[in-house]
Amino acid sequence: DQQVKQNSPSLSVQEGRISILNCDYTNSMFDYFLWYKKYPAEGPTFLISISSIKDKNEDGRFTVFLNKSAKHLSLHIVPSQPGDSAVYFCAATISNDYKLSFGAGTTVTVRA
Amino acid sequence: ETGVTQTPRHLVMGMTNKKSLKCEQHLGHNAMYWYKQSAKKPLELMFVYSLEERVENNSVPSRFSPECPNSSHLFLHLHTLQPEDSALYLCASSQGQGREQYFGPGTRLTVT
């Protein structure tokens, strides 16, 4: 049973515009959420995280929003750049657990 | 070397072979992980080691055998694999539970 879902398998966005990636989760025990970026033939790279005590965390061009009541988080990338073309994974965990539950990923393509 | 390294990067093996995957982390972390990523599927956690002790084993077949000789090194011993075991095998490390995990580049395994 997949507890983290990314319902959009792909996203195409023009360079300079905003990319919005969405993620939903079902386990209300999750209290820490992460986004990873993955290029082909490489391992996932940690991008940004957010604790459940916050509703927003920003790091440069990347902002993650958390809506606990809706069990939904999103990643905003602005402005989008060609190097942002990759697969983005949403993940969630519980603070006393080792396991990260991952979504299936969203492939982002940034068009010039 | 920095971060998490994995060798080999690519491996082709027959179903009767025995091989090992190696992972080394240079981050001073105390937990290490093996993940499997099959095509079109989310990352699947296979094994977790904390302070060189196995703390999680997610119903992985016995043809996969992990070994953690110290907090910096992790091995995955493979024997009598099946073609459906062909996948990207990723190693990761973290400092404790419920936080970011940092991934290596992965080993692309093909079982013929």
Question: Under a CB-based contact definition with an 8 Å cutoff, are residues B22 and B15 in contact?
Answer: no
Q: What is the pLDDT, as a whole number, of residue B56?
A: 76
pLDDT recorded at residue B29: 94
Q: Which residues of chain A have pLDDT under 70?
A: none
Percent of chain B with pLDDT over 90: 77
A-chain residues within 8 Å CB-CB of B94?
98
Q: List, as one string, the DSSP characters of B38-71.
A: -TTS--EEEEEEETTEEEEE-S--TTEEEEEEET
pLDDT in tens, A75-92: 999 999 999 999 999 999
pLDDT at B16: 87
SS3 annotation, A9-55: CEEEEECCCCEEEEEEECCCCCCEEEEEEECCCCCCEEEEEEECCCC
Give me the pLDDT at residue B41, please: 82
Who among B92, B100, B104 is closest to A49 (CB)?
B100
Contact A102 B101 (CB under 8 A): no
Show residues of chain A in contact with B92, CB under 8 Å. 43
DSSP 8-state symbol, B112: -
Give the model confidence (pLDDT) of B80-101 as tens digits.
999 999 999 999 999 988 889 9
Q: Rounded to whole angstroms, how far apart are CA atoms A14 and B42?
A: 27
Average pLDDT over residues B52-65: 86
Inter-chain touch A95–B92, beta carbons under 8 Å: no
- pLDDT attached to residue B1: 61
Q: What does the pLDDT read at residue B53?
A: 84
Nearest CB neighbour to A42, from listed B40, B101, B105: B105
What percent of chain B is predicted at pLDDT more than 70? 99
**How many Å apart are CA A63 and CA A48, to the nearest integer?**
8
Contacts of B50 in chain A (CB under 8 A): 98
**Phi, psi angle pair for A6, to nearest 5°:** -115, 105
Residue A46 with chain B: CB contacts under 8 Å = 100-103
Q: What's the confidence (pLDDT) of residue B95? A: 93
